[in-house]
Amino acid sequence: MRDKVVLITGGAGGIGQAAAKLFLNEGAKVVLVDINESSLAKAKESLTDNPENVGIIQADVTKEEDVKKYVQETVDQFGRIDVFFNNAGINGPVAEITDLDKDTFEQIMSINVTGVFLGLKHVLQQMKKQGHGRVINTASNAAYIGSAGMVGYIASKHAVAGITKTAALETAPLGIRVNAVAPAAIDTQMLQDIQNNLTPGEPEKSGEALKQGIPVGRFGAPDEVAQIVRFLASDEASFVHGALYNVDGGMQAD
Ligand SMILES: NC(=O)c1ccc[n+]([C@@H]2O[C@H](COP(=O)([O-])OP(=O)(O)OC[C@H]3O[C@@H](n4cnc5c(N)ncnc54)[C@H](O)[C@@H]3O)[C@@H](O)[C@H]2O)c1
């Protein structure tokens, strides 16, 4: 990954930061995009002793102007985009279909689906000019299953799987590879929010119940997702295209 330029959305979050750390350790230049400005600044401080290798850009992935801005600023700063980790996402509240308001549903779809689409639209334009690039979208175990109380998230991650396959077919002849990771139960702020939502004030209670549904009996670490993202970004994955890679402690096997 030496001198590769890696762009990561949701870069101030748990999985985004773990990926940034891994790529930086291998000598890449990394640009973190996130809506949360203070988390971005903290992430930059904690990530590396070489701040010149890290860019941070505050942007909302649902706004096309912001997406154009993060693509342009990355190219201005580092000259190109070799790897795009299209990863920003939210979970949304736990509520059954009959109780979920339209605005909340649309907000989840906007970040998890429109954000992924817009990122691809503008990053792929740049990668087409370059004649190379690697994209990894963040899908989820939720791309395969239903889950009561999670309609927005489930619908959005099914959509990310479809977008990944479509983008892979459109870029196959162009030297660009597009794949997705499909994590489940990774120990980040998102998972902590889900636990607090399920058993308010007693997150460990729902945490234990959730672990019982994971064949390996534990949550995953963000770095365990980052390792697969790194693999999909590398030449070792040269014939992997349009794939969803599960990182879920065996949940899909169950
Ligand atoms: N943690 C898990 O168990 C798990 C499982 C499956 C999939 N995922 C997916 O992994 C990805 C990363 O999640 P995470 O677990 O690191 O959670 P996280 O909450 O730590 O990180 C998500 C990041 O996305 C950012 N974000 C949210 N809305 C944004 C917007 N409109 N524009 C720009 N940035 C925005 C947040 O500020 C946050 O920093 C998400 O797509 C999530 O759906 C997570």
Q: Is residue 254 part of a domain?
A: no
Q: Is residue 221 part of a domain?
A: yes
Sheet holding 133-138, edge to edge: 54-58, 29-34, 5-9, 83-86, 133-138, 176-183, 244-247
Report how far residue 30's alpha carbon sits from residue 61's, in angstroms, rounded to the nearest whole number: 17
Does residue 97 register a pLDDT over 80?
yes
Q: Is residue 122 part of a domain?
A: yes
Q: Are 18 and 42 in contact (CB under 8 A)?
A: no
Q: For ligand 1, atom 36, which residue shows the shortest CA distance?
A: 10
Query: Is 153 in the active site?
Result: yes
Q: Is residue 211 part of a domain?
A: yes
Ligand 1 atom closest to Cα of residue 16:
16
Q: Is residue 91 part of a domain?
A: yes
Best mutation site among 15, 67, 223 for ligand 1, i.e. most ligand atoms within 8 A of its Cβ?
A: 15
Q: What was the pLDDT predicted at 197?
A: 87
Residue 13 Cα to ligand 1 midpoint, Å, equals 6
**What b/e sequence results for 190-219 when a residue is b if at least 16 CB atoms lie within 10 Å of its CB, and e otherwise?**
bbebbbebbeeeebeebbeebeeebeeeeb
* Domain of 16, in residue numbers: 5-247
Q: Tens of pLDDT along 59-76? A: 999 999 999 999 999 999
CATH code at position 41: 3.40.50.720
- Segment 70-84 shows an average pLDDT of 98
Q: Are 207 and 190 in contact (CB under 8 A)?
A: no
Does residue 2 register a pLDDT over 90?
yes
Output the ligand 1 site: residues, CB below 6 A: 9-10, 12-16, 34-36, 39, 60-62, 87-90, 111, 115, 138, 140, 183-186, 188-191
Q: Is residue 202 part of a domain?
A: yes
Q: Are 108 and 156 in contact (CB under 8 A)?
A: yes
Q: Is residue 238 part of a domain?
A: yes
Count of domains observed in the chain: 1
pTM of the entire predicted model: 0.98
Q: Strands, E, within 53-110: which ranges?
A: 54-58, 83-86
Q: Which two tokens stand for residue 109?
A: 């779809």
Report how far residue 62's alpha carbon sits from residue 46's, in angstroms, rounded to the nearest whole number: 27
51 pLDDT band, cuts 50/70/90, is confident
Q: Is residue 63 part of a domain?
A: yes
Ligand 1 atom closest to Cα of residue 18:
16
